[in-house]
Structure formats: structure tokens, C-alpha cells
Amino acid sequence: MSASKLVKPAMEYKESYLEALKEFHAEGRYDFLKVDELSENFPAFLEDLNEGRSHLHNPFADWVEPVPETNLWMVKENMFIGSFIIRHRLNWHLEKLGGHINFTIRPTMRGKGFGKKLLQKGIPFACYLGIDRALLTTSPDNEAAIRTIEFCGGEFADETPSTEQFPARKRYWLDCS
Ligand SMILES: CC(C)(COP(=O)(O)OP(=O)(O)OC[C@H]1O[C@@H](n2cnc3c(N)ncnc32)[C@H](O)[C@@H]1OP(=O)(O)O)[C@@H](O)C(=O)NCCC(=O)NCCS
């Protein structure tokens, strides 16, 4: 069995990605991505992911300048395991909420060490994009994310309080140089 690796989203992972999407839907994530639509239009979906599309700052799309992001998938052979998204720079919205990096493991593959591997393997890609220090933010009650970020060397910066517009976040800086 080959090792897990980070790759550009590609056609060979279609079936596995769609299975993972059903798992994400079951936990209320990525509802805006429809399995049937993607199943029919997967090449267009891949093209969109691979073209360095801009992060959608919903519901603030009209209030922030777009920032390009790079999407990578963690795969093992033909199985999709998780995704790693790098925003190329920060704007006020990413500073408050999303940070430079978002990483997610599909629900059925969690708790097996893949989260730590994903973040470790993703750091050189952030470095390649010129990000020396990446901001990562997480909900204060997301124990798995906090442990993963700290395991990978993330340094706690602060905890922002919950406001009318934004949920509370723990913010970490991760050395990618
Ligand atoms: C955060 C996430 C990526 C972790 O992935 P994972 O594959 O489950 O993580 P790992 O198996 O590598 O475990 C990483 C650490 O989290 C801990 N952990 C895993 N699941 C946990 C859980 N449900 N509760 C508490 N700790 C947990 C592990 O014990 C490990 O800590 P340790 O090294 O101190 O033992 C995954 O839970 C996920 O995709 N969550 C939803 C999206 C998300 O929150 N992303 C983070 C955005 S910043």
C-alpha cells in the first residue's frame, strides 16, 4: 500500500471524492456542493478548483477583496482522504476567521493520524507559495484541530471573542519557512 500524498484534484479520485462528500453532508458540511451535479460535471469542478479560484467570503463577498487559493487533496492510492486549502495572503476577513490554511479529513478517516500528516505535508506547499508564517484559526472547542495544529508546531497567538458577525476563534501562527 502506498503512502498518503498531497496532489492536485484529479479525475481518478472522482468516485472516492463523491463518497466523501456524502460523509461531509451527513455532518452538515459542504451542503452547497451537490453530489448529482458534481457527478455530471466533475471535469468543470476540477478545473475550477485547479485554476486558483478566489476564496468566497460569504456572507461578506461584497466587502472583501478576493484572495486566490490553492486546493490540494490528500489521497492514498485512489482514495480521497482530505483537503488542504491555502489562501495566498490574508485580508481582514481571513485574519478574523479563516486564516491562511484550512484542512479537513473526511469523517470516516478521522482519528487515524491523517490530520497530522495532512498539515505536516502541506507546510512545504505554503512555503512554496511564499508564506513564511501561516495563520490558522479554529473554534475554541475543536479539540482535534487544536491538537493537530499544536502537534505541527502552531504557536498560540490569541483567542478572539464571539461577536455578532464572527464566532470565537483560537488563532495560531505556524512557521512554514
Ligand atoms: C481537525 C481534523 C482535520 C483532525 O483530523 P484527524 O485525522 O482526526 O486527526 P489525527 O487523527 O491526526 O489526530 C490529531 C490529534 O487530534 C486528536 N483528536 C482526533 N480526533 C479527536 C476528537 N474527536 N476529539 C479530541 N481529540 C481528537 C488526536 O488524539 C490527536 O492528538 P494527539 O496527537 O494529542 O493524540 C478533523 O477532525 C477534521 O477534519 N475536522 C473537521 C474540519 C476541521 O475542524 N478542520 C480544522 C480547521 S482549522
Backbone angles phi, psi at 168, to 5 degrees: -60, 145
For 163, counting Cβ atoms within 10 Å of its Cβ (0-12 exposed, 13-18 middle, 19+ buried), the class is: exposed
pLDDT value at position 123? 98
- For residue 101, give the ligand 1 atom closest to its CA: 48
Asked, for residue 92, whether it belongs to a domain, the answer is yes
Q: Is the Cβ–Cβ distance between 115 and 103 less than 8 Å?
A: yes
Total structural domains in the chain? 1
Asked, for residue 162, whether it belongs to a domain, the answer is no
Whether ligand 1 lies within 6 angstroms of the CB of 148 is answered as yes
pLDDT value at position 62? 80
Asked, for residue 121, whether it belongs to a domain, the answer is yes
**CA 99 – CA 126 distance, rounded (Å):** 12
pLDDT value at position 163? 93
Asked, for residue 49, whether it belongs to a domain, the answer is yes
pLDDT value at position 8? 97
Domain span holding position 33 = 5-127
Sequence-separated (6 or more) residues with CB below 8 Å from residue 142: none
Whether ligand 1 lies within 6 angstroms of the CB of 104 is answered as yes
Grid coordinates representing 73? 487533496
Provide the residue type at 139 as one letter. Answer: S
For position 69, which CATH number holds? 3.40.630
pLDDT value at position 53? 73
Asked, for residue 154, whether it belongs to a domain, the answer is no
Residues of the chain under the 50 pLDDT cut: none
Of all protein residues, the one whose alpha carbon is nearest to atom 1 of ligand 1 is: 145
Pocket test for ligand 1, best of 76, 138, 148 (most atoms within 8 A of CB): 148
Q: How far is the CA of 101 from the centre of ligand 1 (A)?
A: 15
For 134, counting Cβ atoms within 10 Å of its Cβ (0-12 exposed, 13-18 middle, 19+ buried), the class is: buried
Q: Across-strand partners of 122?
A: none
pLDDT value at position 147? 98
Asked, for residue 152, whether it belongs to a domain, the answer is no
- pLDDT, tens only, 114-139: 999 999 999 999 999 999 999 999 99
Asked, for residue 106, whether it belongs to a domain, the answer is yes
For 111, counting Cβ atoms within 10 Å of its Cβ (0-12 exposed, 13-18 middle, 19+ buried), the class is: exposed
